[in-house]
Amino acid sequence: MIPRSIFNSDHEAFRDMVVKFLEKEAVPFHAQWEENGQIDRALWNKAGEQGLLCPCLPEEFGGVGADYLYSAIVMEEISRLGLTGIGFGLHTDIVAPYIEHYGSEAMKQKYLPKMITGEMVGAIAMTEPGAGSDLQGVRTTAVRDGDHYVINGSKTFITNGQHAEIVIVVAKTDPSAGAKGTSLIIVEAGTPGFTKGRNLHKVGMKAQDTSELFFQDVRVPVGNCIGQEGMGFIYLMQELPQERLGIAVNGIAMAEGALKLTIDYVKERKAFGKHIADFQNTQFKLAELHSRVMQGRVFVDRCLELHLDKKLDVPTAAAAKYMITDLQCEVIDECVQLHGGYGYMWEYPIARMWADARVQRIYGGTNEIMKTIISRAVLA
């Protein structure tokens, strides 16, 4: 791979620490976590102790005020190692920024320090059984009753759903106002009427706790509304480019990890009396995959640069999400093929990567939605 000039020596020292942490605290246990349907809750606290959670948050909340590349490094190494059960990225780069950017000072002081230490795990409840990628179609309601909201509705496919101590709920505070009636409201685990449903059984990402959430007459203080009431849809649109960049970061890192696994495999595996790597078809296929992954890496790193400069716009982030997740799935599928029958065996990491990768083209907005966003920009 080509040198990555956007990372300095401090970034790479942090990367080394992240890799050592994951190899010690996660890699040996991930297969069991897949059986359990979720990672060990203690991993969150251990990650917090090492500074892996919310590194970009300011020192006043207990963070270190690092740049976004530190978060990207954590996501990259988790994905490169195939540790898809670990939901640090959503906690760090999606949930925490909503509170930091739009929450009241009291809200920041209450939640952010505990998210940094891992004492509180964060989730965001957007998707509903009947809405999918259509955020304007949200039906969960939050009706004002004095100094409280009363929340009713249900959510599904919620990452960190079982472990979450706080959930940002996307709800309609004014159902008659369409998108302008959407608000973001924090609900804490244990609040009466808020229940966590089953841990969903997925095709891949089996160690990730992905849940249904139910809200029946859940009363929360009005102060739990993030920012201004009715501004939720705008807040979502402002933060989605970083979410989609994160998906692209995960995608290209997993593609790189899959390619490395495959190169190592074909050098060892023999067929017809010689190593798989000695066949010209293998050599050509690896050359193609290497070149395509390298192209994807350059694009993702450029998007990281734009994001650091606060210049990553919505259509470019959508392009990164769509292009890289398509590439990720195509590369890993070819890697499975080069593994032959063993590539379809669950004990081989490449098989798990293959299953884990597919959802990347769906969440964060389907790739069809990404194309719609891009086409509007192109035709504007």
pLDDT of residue 3 exceeding 90 = no
pLDDT of 133? 59
pLDDT of residue 178 exceeding 90 = no
Interatomic CA distance for residues 60 and 45, integer angstroms: 20
259 CB burial (10 A radius; 0-12, 13-18, 19+): buried
Mean pLDDT of the chain, nearest integer: 95
Tell me the pLDDT tens digit for each residue of 196-229: 999 999 999 999 999 999 999 999 999 999 999 9
Structural contact between residues 159 and 192, judged by C-beta atoms closer than 8 angstroms: no
184: left (phi over 0), alpha (psi -120 to 50) or beta: beta
pLDDT of residue 1 exceeding 70 = no
**Chain CA centroid to CA 307, Å:** 17
Q: Which domains does the chain have, with CATH numbers?
A: 9-120 (1.10.540.10), 123-230 (2.40.110.10), 233-379 (1.20.140.10)
Quick one: what percent of the chain has pLDDT higher than 70? 98
Please state, as a whole number, how many other Cβ atoms lie within 10 Å of the Cβ of residue 188.
Answer: 16
Tell me the pLDDT tens digit for each residue of 285-344: 999 999 999 999 999 999 999 999 999 999 999 999 999 999 999 999 999 999 999 999
pLDDT of 64? 93
Which residue, among 47, 58, 97, has the nearest Cα to 240 in the 3D structure? 97
pLDDT of residue 77 exceeding 80 = yes
What is the average pLDDT across 132-155? 89
Structural contact between residues 261 and 349, judged by C-beta atoms closer than 8 angstroms: yes
Binned at pLDDT 50, 70 and 90, residue 4 comes out as confident
Torsion sign, CA atoms 204, 84, 7, 306: positive
- Is residue 119 part of the annotated active site? The answer reads no
What is the average pLDDT across 56-80? 96
Bridge partners of 225, per DSSP, are 185
Interatomic CA distance for residues 143 and 174, integer angstroms: 8
What is the average pLDDT across 107-114? 98
Q: Which of 243, 305, 347, 368 is catalytic?
A: 243
pLDDT of 250? 98
- Rounded to two decimals, what is the model's pTM? 0.95
Structural contact between residues 56 and 115, judged by C-beta atoms closer than 8 angstroms: no
Binned at pLDDT 50, 70 and 90, residue 366 comes out as very high
Tell me the pLDDT tens digit for each residue of 332-356: 999 999 999 999 999 999 999 999 9
Tell me the pLDDT tens digit for each residue of 247-282: 999 999 999 999 999 999 999 998 899 999 999 999
What is the average pLDDT across 79-91? 97
**Chain CA centroid to CA 281, Å:** 35
Quick one: what percent of the chain has pLDDT higher than 90? 93
pLDDT of residue 15 exceeding 90 = yes
Structural contact between residues 180 and 217, judged by C-beta atoms closer than 8 angstroms: no
Binned at pLDDT 50, 70 and 90, residue 239 comes out as very high
